[in-house]
Each structure stands twice: as C-alpha cells, then as structure tokens.
Amino acid sequence: MISYGINGLYAITPDIADTVQLCAMTQQILLAGVQYVQYRNKIADSILRLHQARALARLCKQHNVFFIINDHYDLAIEVDADGVHVGKEDIAICDARNYLGQNKIIGVSCYNQLELALEAERQGADYVAFGAFFHSKTKTNTVRASTDLLSEAKNKLGIPIVAIGGITLANAASLINHGSDSIAVSHGLYGAQNIRSVAKNFTQLFLKTDQTFSSSS
C-alpha cells in the first residue's frame, strides 16, 4: 500500500450549487499551491454532486493535486478521485479499501476521540482528522476537540493528523504547533474576499513552523 504524506493546507469545498463559481474559487486555491482538495456538498442531489465532482476532478488533475470525495465512495470511484474521507456513520475503512483499491487515500473523521484514530490506523487509514477545534460555520453540530489531543495523538500515531473546524489565519498556528500535520479549511478559504492570498498565507504558516511529515505504514 502506498504511503501518503498529508501535510499543509487541505481545502474543503462549501455547499455551493453554482458549479462554475465553485470551480473558479477552487482554481484560486490551487494557484496558491494547495495540494489537497476535498469535495463536500451536503445540499446537492446526486446529479449535481456528480457534475461538480467531475468538474473538480478535472481541475485538480490539471494542477496535479490530490482530489478527495467526502462520504460517497461510489462517487469517488465514478470520477476516479484520489480517495475518500469517511465518518463514523459512513462506509467501514476495510470496505472502502476493497472498493477503491490499495492506491487510493482513505481519511477518517475521529472527532475528539483518540481511540477512534488508533483504530482507524490499525484498519489501514491513510490519515485521521480531529475537530472541531473552534466554532465552525460549515458544521454546527460538532463536538469540540482540544489542542492537547493533537499533542497526544502525535505521540501515538504513525499516520498524518488533520485538524478541522473553524480554522482561520488567527488560530491555525496553534494547531500546527501542537502537532497537526495539516489543517482543513472551508469557510476560511472559500468565504475570503481574496481566496488566493488567504490560501498562500495559510501555507506560509507551515513554513514558519517548519512542519514536515512523511507518513509510513
């Protein structure tokens, strides 16, 4: 199985019905050097999801960027995405691996529970995500995670750690300093007036803290 070093800024798309607008915004993020984009749209029907996922998959391929699908492993297969991100109520990791294959990325939401992350690693996840660390405008029914969890997880996990939930330029550094290999941002990017500039500023935070990580499994 290929090892993936998930690191730096990880963009997550917001609930936008306008595919042209979504791609134009994502293009600005890609031009800033982001290497990971997750397609997540909770208001779209299956037809719109497929249309948007295909468009974003083409865009990410043009920029040689990893494209991840949230929840819908079948959609990931349909558009030949680079992987899928699942939660505790979605498809099991082993089933996702069987469907997607050994060379695809599988990320797992672990909320504020280190035990879930340890189990996800045992089952073959390529990265885990903790959060929400701050108030999130994208997801309102989230549990809260502490930065101490990142430090503990960093000592116990051998796969990359992603922090998510209400992350802004003002609070991201603390998550990186506590051990997060990557920060997943949605509203903080797509809601910005100058998306490309903000994305560049986020990536600069990792250079300032000298965070480098290469996963091994």
Q: How far apart are CA 110 and CA 129, in angstroms?
A: 6
Rg of the chain on CA atoms, in Å: 16
The label of the residue with tokens 């031009």 reads: 31
40 is catalytic: yes
Compute φ and ψ for 3, nearest 5 degrees.
-100, 135
The one catalytic residue in 40, 49, 104, 196 is 40
200 is catalytic: no
User: Nearest CA to 100 among 122, 125, 118?
Assistant: 125
**How many residues would you count in the chain?**
217
State both tokens at 169: 């330029």
The one catalytic residue in 49, 97, 104, 109 is 109
109 is catalytic: yes
Contact 106, 83 (CB under 8 A): yes
Q: How far apart are CA 195 and CA 34, in angstroms?
A: 12
The one catalytic residue in 61, 139, 154, 200 is 139
SS3 at position 81: coil
Q: Which residues are catalytic?
A: 40, 109, 139
